[in-house]
Amino acid sequence: MIKVDASAPTSDEHQNRAVTKLRYMDFRDNMSSSRSLGFRIEALKMAGKEAVTELQTVRSREQVISTMSGFLRRREDTKRQVVARLQHLRNVFANSPFFQKREVIGSSILIIYDDEKAGVWMIDFAKTVPVPEDISITHRKPWKLGNHEEGYLTGIDNLIKAGPLAALRAIVLRLGKGGAVLLLTQWVILGLLE
């Protein structure tokens, strides 16, 4: 927290040299695009370059789109493949009886492309848990303590709206010549580009 904004901790937090996990997560979500767009980019790695991991403050639509544009580098066919795959994943997720009864926390979207193909997968379901029987969730509402919503579908919708993907929490690794991997992780509350 201090690394991103030294003035963010309260005087009590400074004195105790500690913050609660909920407080840190709220801070992180507000400093990044998680709160406004429902996902954040954690890191990027392009061929022949060092990994970029200081992306905690990529917050605005413009910043996210600029970062994603650098990752996809004007690859229109790759963008179309990624959007088509995201649309497919959204439809499968929205119609899945399994996910209709599960809260999806800390999951990721993995995007990999090379010179010919792009792939998109949902991964990291270790914290996915059933919701109580009497709770109905949409995966589109903002998270509030106790509501079991996480905005997962809103995040996917916003990634799709980022359009020919000019944008969850993300890690990108470059694989071989001309290939790349982008891990877009769990979102919180979203809304991206028209």
Where exactly are the structural domains of the chain? 1-31, 34-185
Question: 0.85 exceeded by the pTM?
Answer: no
**pLDDT digits 0-9 by tens, 93-136:** 999 999 999 998 878 777 777 778 888 888 888 889 999 999 98
- Which of the four pLDDT bands, split at 50, 70 and 90, describes residue 176? very low
Question: What per-residue confidence (pLDDT) applies to 79?
Answer: 80
190, 36 contact by CB (below 8 A): yes
57, 188 contact by CB (below 8 A): no
Question: What per-residue confidence (pLDDT) applies to 96?
Answer: 93
68 CB contacts (<8 Å, ≥6 apart)?
Answer: 41, 162, 165, 166, 167
Question: What per-residue confidence (pLDDT) applies to 95?
Answer: 94
Question: What per-residue confidence (pLDDT) applies to 124?
Answer: 84
Q: Which CATH superfamily is domain 34-185 in?
A: Inositol polyphosphate kinase (3.30.470.160)
Q: Among 42-51, 154-163, 185-194, whose mean pLDDT is lowest?
A: 185-194
Q: What are phi and psi of 130, to 5 degrees?
A: -65, 145
134: tokens are 């009497």
